[in-house]
Structure 1
Amino acid sequence: MLEAFAVVPLRSTGLSPPLPALSRAGHPSPTRRSPVSTTPADRPTAPGPGHPAQPTAPVPLAAVALLLAPDDDVAVTTRDVPAGTSLALPGGPGGSTAVVTLTAGVPRGHKLAVRALPAAARVHKYGQVIGRTTAPVAPGEHVHTQNLGMGAIAHAYEFGTARVRVAPATTTRTFEGFRRADGRVGTRSYVGIVTSVNCSASTARMIADQFRGPVLDAWPHVDGVVALTHDSGCGLVPASEGGQVLRRTLRGYAAHPNVTGLLVLGLGCEMLAVQGLLADLPASPDTLVEHLTIQDEGGVRATVRAGVAVVRRMLDELEGRRRETVPASALVLGLNCGGSDGYSGITANPALGRASDLLVAQGGTSVLAETPEVFGAEHLLTRRAVSEAVGRRLLDRIDWWQEYMTRGGGTLDNNPSPGNKAGGLTTILEKSLGAVAKAGSAELSAVYEYAEPVTDAGLTFMDTPGYDPVSVTGLVAGGATVVVFTTGRGSVLGTKPAPCIKVATNSEMYERMREDMDLDAGRIVTGTATIEGVGEEILDLVLAVASGRPTVSEELDLGRDEFVPWQLGAVT
């Protein structure tokens, strides 16, 4: 999370529900100017009978927007603010308020200038720079793509200067999980059909489809059969970077603690062969493992018949396994966000950061990801690294991404997406500052490449793209047994064989898509919940889901098509 973040307490004016005094350790303390006052103007009284209507009094900033750090140049609107609104802004002479009339509306979740800014001025949000103005900005003006750009950034990196060692919890939390023979603990029990090549994908789906729906009721203690298919495996040079990433991803799923039965399915002539995936597979000794190749079995129909028989035998044996009480320290929690909006860094992400800290205090592991979406905020993470080597490994991945994007003809500021921008995010700096809030305040213990096995406890980082299915695929391949996914626009995602908990950043989207969301963090803005409280709710939900409670994604049987390994490297 960000360092030394203290949000100015906002007041109720009768125009909106009381807004919370948000507070989180771990955000940077602003040191630029004297604090901005947010004294609200008095609310007007209603005119009496026979008297003309009185002029509408200015609306105080606190009634319509959140100022996230005292010296910020922008506030985030908590509702649509229409053109013509008379708004009382802080920072007038002698600490008084300055009244401005908005000439253009500002949508909910977007940025509103609280002071005049000349062109090329640095703009601060969260107490950090999110870009530079590309034109002069007047107080009360909408600050977005029309007048805010990324500009050049330069960070003086420090290593370990802001480490916060999360104190161990005084009580041990538990969940009901599947204890595996290698000491790891699963949160689900799946038979996984891992394909070595795209040529065996349809056959794998045909086998898995025989165990969908009511037929699975015969094995109530098994969570399902999932076909993990992909679009590669042949023509890809096995020794190339892309070949190694795909092999690592497939082996990560094959050895996952939530996969208790494994069928590896190939065609028979591919470059990434079945035996290459199975060689020295680090799966638990109690994983049931079988393999088939379509060419050896005599074609698709014969392979489907053989595969169904293999899976049925596995299900019969796995049905005898039961959950048992295990400590929360056995959890590996994947942290991801998608379809972010202007509330992501204010509500769901810092609340998830709080849950991450609580899990780390239990001795558990959480994994932050999406390297392009920490770009511009990586200096906050290096300050929390347990060593310079860990911090520099993160910077090495940032450098790799810069070169990768240059080769592809783009830049890292191609992100945010159009949906992010519609939700109020303008630059990757702004998006990244909100995204790293998912990491809480714990020290950074390790940095992993894509789909590498996560073996360190505490807060860790995995290098993944920002594209959600690819990112989460890497997290699960690395061993994440539960994923929490925050979204502001309304992403729909499943992550079999790991359950995925979706947390809405704003209550409006939650109400509109509540059949697809597991928890509403927008209550932090409406004043009915706090970051700390929602963080504790998230951890409670993680433990319940880890114990078998289905998520909305699982109720919809999502997660079969979201297995998307990162495709890199030469294809011949």
Structure 2
Amino acid sequence: MKEILIIDPTDNVAVALRDHAGGLVQIEGQSLNIEPVRQKHKVLLQSLKKGEKVMMYGVPVATANQDLAQGAVITTENITHFADPISLDNKKKYEWQPLDVSRWQDRTFMGYHRADGKVGTANYWLFIPLVFCENRNLKVIEETLLTTLGYKKPNDYMQFAQSLLGGVSQSQSVKEDRAFENIDGVKFLYHDGGCGGTRADSETLLRLLAGYLNHPNVAGATVLSLGCQHAQVDWFKEVQQQLYPQGDKPVIYLEQQVIQSEEKLIKTAISETIEQLKIANQNERKPAPLTKLVVGLECGGSDGFSGISANPAVGYASDLLVSLGGSTMLSEFPELNGVEQDIVDRCVSREVAEKFVRIQRAYEAQARASGSGFDMNPSPGNIKDGLITDAIKSAGAAKKGGRAPVSGVLDYTEPLTQAGLNLLCTPGNDVESTTGLAGSGAQITLFTTGLGTPTGNPLSSVIKISTNTELQERMPDIIDLDAGPITRGEKSIAEVGEEILEKIITVASGESTKAMDLEQNDFILWKRGVSL
């Protein structure tokens, strides 16, 4: 196994593939004397003068704060984040050859066909509160429906807790079979918005909720309103008409201040929903082409191996799907900092490039105005595992987007309409980002992690991919696929990318993921404030 890895021929740093006590290592047929270095951290391949650039992934990612010797380990003390400026005028002509996808050309997945031509990879009924005041009613309805309809899973921890008290656990009354065979679940979107904040926050919430209601994995929805909040029912309907004019899913609207009592509200919600579930249950899975797939691309709890194993493997899977005529969405705009020019060059038109630059610059300016910036994006966990500048983190994170041209750029809550690789403006925060991906139409989300991130989404099936095998062995309950063999030279990026595509197809046809098994239904609105 290699001890050290150069990612790009133009790089002047290399990644340690294991802990090294220092001394001579062999790299590219030459000997290099290095300082003691921890796994996933970087050493200099050549000496640098103060102010000279550190190159990684073929792009500048930092500048030296002092003169640095060959073999030195780069740290937060001896280098500073650097990212090349963006230039629309220097946009280069970009050419890309689609991958050979002949073996998947006639493949299909088993999905739920919708009236608007989209195909769901699941069939959910959705409960939407327009304001946080309805969360308590939502909880009562959730406990009632999930238990009655057979979706509530037994809680193994109840017996454990009873044993600690010296008691004998009571058997849970849980329906063994689902009442509706073709309804994959009933989902509930708890949030803290809809009133009390700015009107802009309420509008963003309504746009996001409209995306969830019109998601291909949703059969219909029950909407609960208090009545006096900012996020009014009529406003919600206007937003839906604006963003999804072809939307025609059944929606039950209930307003508490109009109905005589809370009890009547809850009973009405339950009874009317069950009647609609009987209709939605008539929809069965049928074959659908892979062109109907929309897959989100996300990373969280990244480590020093993210950019050399799981992320490029996801990027290869994205290129395969795009080559087949499907769609992918790359999120987390703070984690494109430093690779913006490459993104600009890959945009299919100047108009698309201008939209990306406009959104990216506005986001960065907002962060600066609040005393922050993209350079403050890496978390303590990222830094500990070798991602010591945002540009290093970003250059590796951007690998999830593969090399396909950028067909479209979406602002937060904007629905996907263009096939191919799209960029979606979200923060780097894991749950805010995955929430946004589902809101723009991702049926499935590929989520790479090097440290372990236990999160999921109510609608989008999250597939977790570990960057290193140690994580998969340590947290097998959250990891679906392991990209660790790439760093050991046992598998290629292409091989793991193909495995990921096969996993996408099986999940699209109804196979559950670890996040789904753990009922991780995380939903957090990005209020468009500064969140990196």
Give the TM-score, by structure 2 length.
0.89
* Residues 287-322 of structure 1: per-residue CA shift (max 9 Å, x gap): 331111222223433322222222222222222221
Structure 1: stretches of 5+ with no match in the other structure? 1-15, 17-62
Structure 1 residues 160, 206: closer, same or farther in 2, change over 3 A? farther
Relative distance call for 1:81 and 1:226 in structure 2 (3 A) is: same
Shift of 1:506: 0.9
Which of 189, 192, 195 is 2:126 aligned to? 192
CA-to-partner distance for each residue in 1:495-554, whole Å, 9 max, x for gaps? 111111011111111111111000001110112211001111111101100100000000
Could you report, residue by residue, the CA deviation over 1:297-352 in whole angstroms, capped at 9, with x for unpaired residues?
A: 23433322222222222222222221000000001111111111111111111111
Question: 1:252 is matched with which residue: 203, 211, 230?
Answer: 211
2:69 matched residue in structure 1 = 138
Counterpart CA distance in 2 for 1:283 and 1:254 is 13
Matched with 2:526 is 566
Q: CA deviation at 1:155?
A: 4.1
CA distance, structure 1, for counterparts of residue 112 and residue 443 of structure 2: 11
Letter in 1 for 2:125: V
Distance across 2 between alignment mates of 1:450 and 1:163:
28
Letter in 2 for 1:112: V
Q: 1:533 aligns with which of 495, 499, 505?
A: 495
The letter for the 2-side match of 1:246 is L
Between 64-73 and 448-457, the greater mean CA deviation after superposition: 64-73
Identity %: 36
Match of residue 41 from structure 1: none
Give the counterpart letter for 1:224 in structure 2: G
Encode CA deviations 1:404-431: one digit per residue, 9 max, x unaligned: 1122111111111111111110111111
CA distance in 1, matches of 2:262, 2:69: 67
Q: Is structure 2 residue 116 aligned with structure 1 residue 116? A: no
Shift of 1:138: 2.5
1:221 maps to what in 2?
182
User: Of residues 33, 45, 59 in structure 2, which corresponds to 1:128?
Assistant: 59
What is the aligned partner in structure 1 of residue 23 from structure 2? Answer: 86
**Residue of 326, 335, 348 corresponding to 2:310:** 348
In the alignment, residue 380 of structure 1 is paired with which amino acid? D
Equivalent position to 2:137, from 192, 203, 209: 203
Q: How do 1:411-422 and structure 2 match up within 5 A?
A: 411-422=373-384
**Superposition deviation, residue 101 in structure 1:** 5.9
In 1, the alpha carbon distance for the partners of 2:34 and 2:57 equals 25
- 1:89 positional shift: 5.3
Tell me which of 268, 273, 279 is aligned to 2:227.
268
Equivalent residue, structure 2, for 1:376: 338
3-state SS, counterpart of residue 320 of structure 1: coil
Secondary structure at the residue paired with 2:257? helix
Q: What is the identity, as a one-letter code, of the residue corresponding to 1:75?
A: A
Question: Residue 487 of structure 2: SS of its match in structure 1?
Answer: helix
Structure 1's 208 and 278: CA in aligned 2 closer, same or farther, altered over 3 A?
A: farther
| Greater radius of gyration (CA) | 1
1:252 partner amino acid = G
Q: Spell out the pairing of 1:163-202 with structure 2 (5 A cutoff).
A: 163-164=95-96, 166=98, 169-170=101-102, 171-202=105-136
Please tell me whether the aligned partners of residues 175 and 326 of structure 1 are also in contact (alpha carbons under 8 angstroms): yes
1:486 aligns with 2:418: no
Residue 424 (1) aligns with residue 394 (2): no
In the superposition, relative to structure 1, how do residues 504 and 152 fare at CA in structure 2: closer, same or farther (>3 Å)?
Answer: closer
1:101–1:403 CA distance, 2 compared to 1 (3 A): closer
Aligned counterparts, 1:297-376, within 5 A: 297-376=259-338
Moved more, 292-301 or 178-187: 292-301
Counterparts in 2 of 1:136 and 1:180: CA distance versus 1, 3 Å = same
Instruction: Give deviations 1:438-480, integer Å, cap 9, x for gaps.
Output: 1111111111110111000001111111111111111111111
The answer (yes or no) to whether the contact 1:177–1:325 under 8 Å persists in 2 is yes
Tell me, in whole angstroms, the C-alpha distance in 1 between the residues paired with 2:99 and 2:38.
41
Instruction: Give the Cα separation in 1 of the matches to 2:445 and 2:129.
Output: 23
Q: Helix, strand or coil for the counterpart of 1:383?
A: helix
SS at match of 1:211: helix
1:46-97: per-residue Cα shift (whole Å, max 9, x none)? xxxxxxxxxxxxxxxxx31111123422111111113xx3223559xxx853
Q: Judge conservation of contact 1:263–1:290 (CA < 8 Å) in 2.
A: yes
User: For 2:511 and 2:8, how far apart are their aligned partners in 1?
Assistant: 38
**How much is the aligned-residue C-alpha RMSD, in angstroms?**
2.1
Shift of 1:237: 4.4
Q: Residue 363 of structure 1: CA displacement?
A: 0.8
Q: Matched residues in 1 for 2:83 and 2:122: separation?
A: 46
Tell me, yes or no, if the aligned pair for 1:160 and 1:386 is still in contact at 8 Å.
no
Q: Aligned equivalents of 1:154 and 1:286: distance in 2?
A: 45
* Partners of 1:180 and 1:286 within 8 A in 2: no
Q: 1:88 corresponds to which letter in structure 2? A: V
Give the drift of 1:271. Answer: 1.3
For 2:224, what is the secondary structure of its paired residue? strand
Residue equivalent to 2:163: none
Corresponding pairs, count: 497
Report the CA distance between 1:154 and its aligned residue. 2.9
Cα distance in 1 for partners of 2:25, 2:432 equals 45
C-alpha deviation, 1:201, in angstroms: 1.8
| Counterpart for residue 457 of structure 1 | 419
Displacement after TM superposition at 1:143 (Å): 1.2
Alpha-carbon distance between aligned partners in 2 of 1:445 and 1:160, rounded to the nearest angstrom:
16
Give TM-score scaled by structure 1 length. Answer: 0.83
Separation in 2 of the partners of 1:219 and 1:201?
25
Asked if structure 1 preserves the Cα contact closer than 8 Å seen for 2:322 and 2:420, the reply is yes
Q: d(CA) in 1 for partners of 2:386 and 2:283?
A: 48
Q: Secondary structure in 1 aligned to 2:62?
A: strand
C-alpha distance in structure 2 between counterparts of 1:306 and 1:66, whole Å: 62
Q: How big is the shift at 1:284?
A: 6.6
Instruction: Give the partner amino acid of 1:195.
Output: P
- Confirm or deny: 8 A CA contact 1:349 1:438 kept in the other structure: yes
Query: 1:72 matched to which residue of 2?
Result: 11
Structure with more helix by fraction: 2
- One-letter amino acid matched to 2:95: R
In structure 2, give the amino acid aligned to 1:315. L
The code of the aligned residue for 2:187 comes to V
Give the aligned residue type for 1:223. D
